[in-house]
Structures are given as structure tokens and as C-alpha cells.
């Protein structure tokens, strides 16, 4: 089963994509999403972003979170 990846704001604009899906190979229990996403989208290496998995800010994903939404979030600008 895959994870949906959502891109927001300036990141969605820069990459030209707002969502995709990835199949994560859990060779280890916790996989670093930042490394994984930057491998797939090298443009992100020059950008500031946070990662949320199932609406919680975190960097690592476990096999128990397969199917959850991964959000790639640029700097916030609310208010």
C-alpha cells in the first residue's frame, strides 16, 4: 500500500505538482521521509520545508503509518 504525498504553497509551485504517491520500502522500521522525498525531488534540497504525517509534524515514518498522508509544508504565512 502506498502513501499519498501532498505538496503545498511555493513547493507545489516550484515542483509543478500538488500530489503524488510513493511506495516506501521499510527495510528499517523508521524511514526518514526528508531523505526519501529529496531523492525523488532534488529541487527540495534548496528549499526550507517541514513534513507532516497524518497531520503531525515529524520526519520519520514507520510501517504502521502506511496509507497515511505525507504533507510537504513550506514556511507558514498565516495571520
Partner 1 sequence: MEAKKIKNCFIEGPIASTFIGESIGKHQSKTTIGAHQLFLGQVRKDIIDSKSVISIEYTSHVDMANKVFEEIREEAFSKFDLTCMHIYHSLGEVKIGEICLFVFVSSAHRKAAQKAVEFIVEEIKLKSPIFGKENLEDESHVWKVNQ
**Chain contacts with partner 1 (rule: CB under 8 A):** 6, 8-10, 13, 52, 55, 71, 73-79
Nearest distance, CB of residue 3 and partner 1, angstroms: 15
Length of the chain equals 79
Q: Would you call 4 helix, strand, or coil by DSSP?
A: strand
- Residue 9 or 31 with smaller CB distance to partner 1: 9
Nearest distance, CB of residue 6 and partner 1, angstroms: 7
Strand partners of residue 20: 5
- Going by C-beta distance under 8 Å and a sequence separation of 6 or more, which residues neighbour residue 67? 1, 2, 3
- Residue 16 or 79 with smaller CB distance to partner 1: 79
Amino acid at each position: 500500500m502506498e502513501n499519498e504525498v501532498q505538496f503545498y504553497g511555493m513547493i507545489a509551485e516550484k515542483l509543478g505538482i500538488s500530489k503524488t504517491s510513493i511506495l516506501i520500502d521499510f527495510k528499517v522500521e523508521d524511514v526518514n521521509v526528508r531523505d526519501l522525498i529529496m531523492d525523488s525531488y532534488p529541487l527540495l534540497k534548496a528549499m526550507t520545508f517541514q513534513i507532516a504525517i497524518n497531520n503531525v509534524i515529524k520526519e520519520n515514518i514507520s510501517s504502521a503509518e502506511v496509507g497515511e498522508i505525507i504533507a510537504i509544508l513550506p514556511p507558514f504565512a498565516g495571520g
